[in-house]
Amino acid sequence: MTTASAPRLLALDVALLPPAACRPRLAALNAALDAPPHGFRFDDTHLPHVTLAQQFVAAGRLAEIIRCVARTVRTAAPLRLRSTGLSRGRTTSSLRLAPTAALARLHVGVMDALLPFEAGPGDASAFHSNGEPPRPADLEWVTRFRDRAAYARFDPHITLGVGAAPGAAAALDAEAERVALCHLGRYCTCRRVLAEWTLTPRGA
């Protein structure tokens, strides 16, 4: 007797993408940190982002997930991203962002909407590798995101890279209007945009 194989999983991130005007400052901060293969560089396949949700999902449900996220973000207005300083984790440095009520609402809305699609635990095959396989820490982070980094633990930030960022970061104060559904890679970087939406100002 044969058994059906488990559905292929994807490691996904729903993220706010900072506006293009912020990219040079973020790229400069990233360039001061570790280069590949021990780190990463922001480019077209390593996007600076603010994570709203991460989880493993069945690849076969991707179309449903895209429709679900579209319904969730369609009533959200562009969101202000204001930096509050740098922080250092065990491996990476991040630009901390002010936890506004509007940002928290969108985070909760996306997390609640994605709950029925949660699958796993996932393995390395769920990530976008392209020569950069995920670390065990990446698998654990996505697996435990809902417990360890969501809702009351939500801590908005932009991961800048691997290592300790030198000095102080230039202030960032900008309005983000792009939300993307991304395929995650090593260091939980946003490697591939699977769908994207533009937040609309109120009354527009």
The predicted structure's pLDDT at residue 167: 73
Q: Show the beta-strand stretches assigned E in 9-103.
A: 9-17, 50-58, 79-88, 92-97
Contacts of 99 by beta carbon, 8 Å cutoff, 6+ apart: 154, 155, 156
Q: Are 118 and 68 in contact (CB under 8 A)?
A: no
pLDDT tens sequence for the chain (204 residues):
333 455 699 999 999 999 999 999 999 999 999 999 999 999 999 999 999 999 999 999 999 999 999 999 999 999 999 999 999 888 999 999 999 999 999 999 999 999 999 998 899 999 999 889 999 999 999 999 999 999 999 999 999 999 998 877 778 999 999 999 999 999 999 999 999 999 998 765
Contacts of 157 by beta carbon, 8 Å cutoff, 6+ apart: 50, 87, 94, 95, 96, 97
For 181-198, the pLDDT digits (tens) are 999 999 999 999 999 999
Tokens representing residue 86 in the block: 């740098």
In 3D space, the residue among 31, 46, 146 whose CA is nearest the CA of residue 93 turns out to be 31
Whole-prediction pTM: 0.93
